[in-house]
Structure 1
Amino acid sequence: MNNLLVYGLTLATFCHCLQLPSSFKKCDKRRSDFNNCLSDVVYNTLKVFDKPLKSHGFPSLRYVEFPPEAVIEIGNRTYGLAQKFSKFRLAGLSQPEDIKTRLDFGPVFSTLTMELSYSKLAWDYEYEGQGTMVLLPLNVITPVECVLYNPTFTFMVKLEEYNKGATYFRVIDFEFDMKEIDRTTINFQQLFTNRRLNDEFNSALSEKGLQTFHIFKHLQVKLTPYFGTIFKSFLEKIPVAELFDE
């Protein structure tokens, strides 16, 4: 199962130092076009991870499954609606349309910023609702698909160099943001037993998709650590000298 937790554990138990594929391009950080070069490297690397890289123990990033503990809960069934979102899966992470990457080196910390633009990304998850929705009692568990059109995912990684026989990067802070969504569609497959009501609800909700996105956008912080697992585990096994030309 392509699970972010499994991803991290697999890397952590691999070898002490991973050797990158011979096709991996290194960028010279002394050059003025370093960030452009790095953007190309990240773009091509994600394309490689569209399929599992079995020789290095990396699973595919085309379909990323989040671990069971990645759960978002809001509301209260006593005074409204208790809602639970779980079993997240993200489809399309390895297929960006464009990437802008910047790595700012500092005397103590370095900061890696990546903006990944997509034509479409799909979040699949399970929704559980218990309580009352506009006076209508609700007690349901249903699969949901939420499609984001032209989103931009931003990752900001704060890095610290340390030595363990060679120089490595340690992730000491990680931020994730979803922004610049053109529109979104939401499909609750079995929210209501009445199919017509279910379809019309999805249609009405999708029409208000951008408003719904901004209302719930702050909850993305709940998923941030699981994205950070990928970066942390990868960089802990790759010496800095494997990544850049000095």
Structure 2
Amino acid sequence: MNSLVLFLLTVVAFGSCLKLPSSFKKCDRKTTDFNQCLSEAIYGALRILDKPLPSHGLPSLYGVEFPDVFTMGNSTYGLLQKFYQTRYIGLSKPENINAKLDFGPLTITLTIEATYSQLTVETEFEAQGTIVLLPVNVITPVVYTLVNPTYTFTFVLEEYEKGTTYFRVIDSKIDAQTQGLKFDYKGLFSNKVLNEEFNNAMDEKWRQIWILFKSFDEVLFAPLFGTIFNDFLKKVPAAELVDG
């Protein structure tokens, strides 16, 4: 009886395994050009993910939505700011990908360096308080444009068995760099000239502001990308992802 139960569980486990779509490239870790092949495979996969692939737990990476609300400051002593309905536009369209997979004794580290000509971030911005003694109480759309950004995603993986071998994400990190950051607060002030001048002033100070912007990516967005990748890894066995 126990043997029959084990057999049935094994059949179910293997029956639930998914293969990679034929459009996804597969690489052999024993070859000398493995990381180059991996870079090409990830580049191609990102391009395919202009549209979601729900069968494999993958959303569209063209417009990635972040559900969390981020709050900073306070209205008593300055400006309370809230950001919500945030979307990253263009992650599925990198100019170049450099990826490597390092196999350690206990864990595996996947590093993906993705460069873009530009990325845009759309969000709803709510502000209450004062800016240089000027009262502010507004909700407005905002578009941030990153010029020639490079995003480096690091995923630490471990193997586990569920009828066959799978990977899972146990840690995820993001490092972001950009050559410029442009701001477009659509309606922070009712005075159009003042609104335009505010955006111009923000553009000039982009390097200082980028330090804060970058911290959002590292603290808030890295776990979300880890979850997206992990949902995919739950469905596809390791042998389907990498040969060797």
> TM-score w.r.t. structure 2 length?
0.89
Does the aligned pair in 1 maintain the 2:56–2:232 contact within 8 Å?
no
Shift of 1:16: 3.2
Matches within 5 A, 1:31-70: 31-53=31-53, 58-67=58-67, 70=68
Kept after mapping to 1: 8 A contact 2:124/2:141:
yes
Q: Deviations over 1:59-93 (max 9, x none)?
A: 421111222xx121111111111111111001100
Deviation at 1:17, TM superposition (A): 2.1
Shift of residue 206 of structure 1? 1.2
User: Is contact 1:71-1:222 (8 Å) kept?
Assistant: no
Residue type of the alignment partner of 1:147: T
Specify the SS of the correspondent of 1:184.
strand
Q: Percent identity?
A: 55
Measured against aligned partners, the alpha-carbon deviations of 1:127-169 in whole angstroms (never above 9, x if no partner) come to 1111111111111111000000100111100000000001000
User: Are the counterparts in 2 of residues 112 and 156 from structure 1 also a CA contact under 8 Å?
Assistant: yes
* SS of structure 1 residue aligned to 2:92: coil
**1:213 & 1:194 partners in 2: Cα distance?**
26
Work out which of the residue numbers 142, 146, 149 in structure 2 matches 1:148: 146
Gaps of 5+ in 2: 1-14
Query: SS at 1:223's partner residue?
Result: helix
RMSD (CA atoms): 1.5
- Of 206, 212, 217, the residue aligned with 2:209 is 212
1:5 alignment partner in structure 2: none
Larger mean Cα displacement after TM superposition, 234-243 or 209-218: 209-218
Instruction: Report the Cα offset of residue 54 of structure 1.
Output: 6.2
The within-5 A match list for 1:92-171 is 92-171=90-169
Which residue does 1:4 correspond to in 2?
A: none
For 2:190, what is the secondary structure of its paired residue? coil
Q: Which whole-Å deviations, capped at 9, do the CAs of 1:97-156 have from their partners, x for residues lacking one?
A: 000101000121010011000000000001111111111111111100000010011110
- The match for 2:232 is 234
**SS at structure 1 position matched to 2:163:** coil
Other structure's SS at 1:203 match: helix
Q: Residues 56 and 235 of structure 2 are in contact (CA less than 8 Å); yes or no, is this contact kept in structure 1?
A: no
Stretch moving more, 140-149 or 48-57: 48-57
Aligned length: 229
**Structure having the higher Rg:** 2
Matches of 2:53 and 2:80 in 1, distance apart? 41
1:59/1:157 Cα in 2 relative to 1: closer, same or farther (>3 Å)? closer
Report the CA distance between 1:55 and its aligned residue.
6.2
1-structure distance, mates of 2:55, 2:109: 29
Alignment partners' CA distance in 1, 2:54 and 2:158: 29
Structure 2: how far apart are the matches of 1:24 and 1:222?
A: 29
Kindly provide the CA deviation profile for residues 18-54 of structure 1, in whole angstroms up to 9, marking residues without a partner as x: 2211232211101111111100000001111113346
TM, length-normalised to structure 1: 0.89
The alpha carbon displacement at 1:211 in A equals 2.1
Paired with 1:29 and 1:134, the residues of 2 have a C-alpha distance of: 58
Using the alignment, how far apart are the partners of 1:111 and 1:59 within structure 2? 23
Letter in 2 for 1:211: Q
Aligned mates of 1:215, 1:31 — CA distance in 2: 41
- Please identify, of 218-227 and 87-96, the stretch whose mean Cα deviation from structure 2 is larger: 218-227
